Chains A and B, each alone.
Chain A
Amino acid sequence: MDNVLTHRVGGPFIFVLVLLIMSQSIFSWATPFMDIIDMIFIEFGAFIGSSLPNGMLNNLLVDGVIAGLGGVVIFLPQIIFLFLFIYFLEGTGYMARAAFVMDGFMTMVGLHGRSVVPLMSGFACAVPGIMATRTIENWRDRLITIMILPFMACSARLPVYAVMIAAFVPNKQFMGFLTLQGVVFFGLYLFGIVMAIGSAAVMKRIFPMGKPTPFLMELPSYKLPNIRLIVIQSLERGKIFVSEAGKIIVAISIILWFLASYPIYEPTVSDRATTDANEQQLSDQMISTLQLNQSYAGTFGQLIEPVIEPLGFDWKIGIGLLTSFAAREVMVGTLNIIYSIEETDQQLGLIDRLKSEIDPNTGLPKYTLATTLSLMIFFAIAMQCMSTLAIVKRETNSWKWPLVMFGYMTILAYFSSWLTYEFANAFLLG
């Protein structure tokens, strides 16, 4: 068996195949469950929302607590499916072979053969990926893998990339058979990987070595895995996530809800007067826009505008950066609210709206390709995900590492975006 699975050429090939099957199955199995969970929480929120009298408690429960719980439970399908795979491969004895085959490649970039599976899982979502680093025995290798894992372009970045690319990257042919939009999309994935490798190389030098422990990895004999054990262990991982990371996620959700909902906006007569009765929906839309803009989150956006201006961002994006900390895909929803996009066909509406936004000072379109590229680079790098920070806290058992992660990724994102913006302005416009 080992002659095939750890063959010098065939081994890596088989491993890539296993990874592909794994990612594809997790994706296709987890998605329906995630949709169901999403629906249940939305319905439950709507039910609570309509059965309780309007007011602060109602909002807190629906938009704070239930939305926060939903944000926790939504991760369960991916976590459980990934661990079913990992425990299965571990149980058969294959995992050590995969590490054996990949170790040579991974040590070149300063990592461990066992880093591959967690890093690949990071393309779906960093949270299960970080939980999967538990298979890396050496603490330093494990820590570096955790610290670079959020650079893998996770699925939550997709909607943001999609909106931005559709709005601002011209749909031109590239090198004959590719489209420019497709190339930018691929470039963002590649960029994440390059950042990960670069950061790993730097961390390898910075992090204290301690005494090096020799690399002595046992290749256990192949055996049939115990299915009952695999199921129990995978469910246990899900339980750990909910009970330990879940608390932090719900708490931050409530804080974010508070920042976006307070102080409460009181619509004035003139606001109402500007829209007539048959545009009542638009009026509600306007109210939520005004609510967000003058909330603490809105104030925060305006407050940080001078700081993010060199990146080509305005205060509206500033608000989005704060709210998308709940989860990256929230950015799209926030921009929808900020720009008062109607519920129907939000994505198209937002794309058109962004395109037509005019800078009052210059009279030129406000969102240029430079701003878009800068924002996408920011999203590719910045630690815009509280769930990741919560699981890093759990897995490293300390607040130190999530804070270091947040700090270094934000700084890195800031300077990369700034460089991107300057470059793009110099070469694409000037």
Chain B
Amino acid sequence: MSKTNLAIQKDLLRQPSTITLVGNPNTGKSTIFNALTGLRQKIANYPGITVERKMGSTIINGVLHKVIDLPGAYSLNHKKADERITYETLIGSYDYEEKPDLLLLVLDASNLERNLFLASQVMDLQIPILMVLTMSDIADERGIIIKPEQLSSAWRVPVISVNARSKNCDTQIKEALIEKGVAVPKPFQWNPTTPLRKAVERLDKEWLSKHTQLPKRARPIEALRLIAEGGLEDSFYQYSEGGKAKKLIESLQNFLEAAGENPTAAEVVQRYRFISDISEGSVSKEHSNELT
């Protein structure tokens, strides 16, 4: 992990790689996918389920890259089939999808707080990212001015703002990938409280790292989910020694409660708290223009 402010990587696109689009529904993600791939796209069902896989290709600087458009998601919660694909693809454990080499994290600028919630979870997974802001025009109309540079320094990843509807949207993104590059975000930028951080570390160290196949970078996210919801039975992994895990999770939940935190809400509340704090720097509402 680089200690510099932005851990920029620019040489990633010299060889064929997989560019994966991730973001909330209604963000213009499909528009960007279509702009990048045009007619070089293929839609088919993922095996055994009814979720559609959108795959295409794009050429950047003469190199052909795969482009995957993941199903839109509001969080990395993964109980539904489409969410599970998004989650498992991101952590690289889904056999039927390419592991992402880099992510285009698409955010609706007119709805930034909720969009940043998913973004903050995705960034915990430490995959090289370029943040793509869409719909800045709608945000402008509402008097919400978003400064990409400030968002970039807040989250320590490169950020561009594109008009997904413009004809050269694909060029804008390609140029940004070349010039700005991508960066591996630092995990846990959202300042989890000390008790929560401790609980995650313990669950990871004492159980997830020993008894699951989860890759290292995915374990904190899974630990957070287990602490919030329990839900070992919902998990898609073959946990061994589930009984032991259950006891451990319960004791961690009790530990959080003793520290004055609601274990179910702790993660979500803290992420949103951090997002609204940080937004005050990078977002300015010129006038309160309530939409109805």
Contacts and interface: CB of A to CB of B under 8 A. Distances in A.
Interface stretch (A162-170, A194-202, A224-232, A367-375): A224-232
Q: How large is the interface on A (under 10, 10 to 19, 20 to 34, 35 or more residues)?
A: 20 to 34
B41 A236 contact: yes
A411 to B, nearest CB: 25
B291 to A, nearest CB: 7
A139 B165 contact: no
Nearest to A90: B26
Interface string A233-247: 100100010001000
Interface string B226-245: 00000000100000000000
B48 A397 contact: yes
Given A211-B79, A236-B41, A395 B50 contact: yes
Contacts of B50: 139, 142, 395-397
A244 B30 CA distance: 22
Interface string A199-229: 0000000000001010000101101101011
Contact of A3 (B45, B52, B135, B292): B292
Contact of B34 (A139, A224, A228, A398): A228
A140 to B, nearest CB: 11
Interface string B18-50: 000000011000110010001101011101111
A221 B110 contact: yes
A2 interface: yes
Interface in B232-271: 234
Given A139-B81, A229-B34, A221 B138 contact: yes
B43 A236 contact: yes
Contacts of B135: 221, 223
Contacts of B164: 226
B287 interface: no
A93 B110 CA distance: 14
B80 interface: yes
Contacts of B43: 236, 240
A213 B44 CA distance: 25
Interface residues of B, number: 28
Interface in A107-161: 134, 139, 142
Contacts, number: 50
Contact of A213 (B48, B80, B111): B80
A232 B34 CA distance: 8
Contacts of B49: 397
A238 B25 CA distance: 23
B45 A218 contact: no
Interface string A384-398: 000000000011111
Nearest to B24: A218
Contacts of B81: 139
Given A139-B81, A224-B165, A229 B30 contact: yes
B212 to A, nearest CB: 22
Given A228-B34, A396-B50, A397-B45, A213 B79 contact: yes
Contacts of A394: 45
Nearest to A218: B26
Nearest to A2: B292
A416 B222 CA distance: 52
Contacts of B45: 394, 397
B148 to A, nearest CB: 20
Given A2-B292, A3-B292, A221-B138, A229 B80 contact: no
Interface string A362-385: 000000000000000000000000
Nearest to A401: B50
Contact of A221 (B30, B52, B80, B291): B291
A218 B80 contact: no
Contacts of B291: 221
A233 B69 CA distance: 14
A7 to B, nearest CB: 12
B163 to A, nearest CB: 11
B110 A139 contact: no
A229 B32 CA distance: 10
Nearest to B166: A226
B140 to A, nearest CB: 12
Contacts of B25: 218, 220
A409 to B, nearest CB: 21
Contacts of A223: 135, 138
Contacts of A134: 52
Which of A226, A228, A240, A394 is the most central at the interface, judged by chain B CB atoms within 10 Å of its CB? A226
Given A139-B80, A240-B43, A397-B50, A226 B165 contact: yes
A211 B291 CA distance: 34
Nearest to A235: B39
A407 to B, nearest CB: 20
Contacts of A244: 44
Nearest to A228: B34
B33 to A, nearest CB: 9
Nearest to B167: A228
A87 to B, nearest CB: 10
A226 B80 contact: no
A376 B3 CA distance: 76
A236 B40 CA distance: 11
Interface string B40-72: 010111011110100000000000000000000
A405 to B, nearest CB: 15
Contacts of B234: 211
B269 to A, nearest CB: 17
A218 B49 CA distance: 24
Interface in A276-324: none
A213 B77 CA distance: 12
Contacts of B47: 397
A224 B31 CA distance: 13
Given A139-B81, A223-B138, A232 B39 contact: yes
Contacts of B30: 229, 233
Given A221-B111, A221-B135, A236-B43, 8 more contacts: A139-B81, A220-B25, A221-B110, A223-B135, A224-B165, A228-B34, A232-B39, A233-B30
Closest 7 CB pairs of A and B: A220-B26, A397-B45, A397-B50, A226-B165, A229-B34, A229-B31, A226-B31
29 contacts: A93-B26, A139-B50, A139-B80, A139-B81, A142-B50, A211-B79, A213-B80, A220-B26, A221-B110, A221-B291, A223-B135, A223-B138, A226-B164, A228-B34, A229-B30, A229-B31, A232-B34, A232-B39, A233-B30, A233-B34, A236-B41, A236-B43, A240-B43, A244-B44, A394-B45, A395-B50, A396-B50, A397-B45, A398-B48
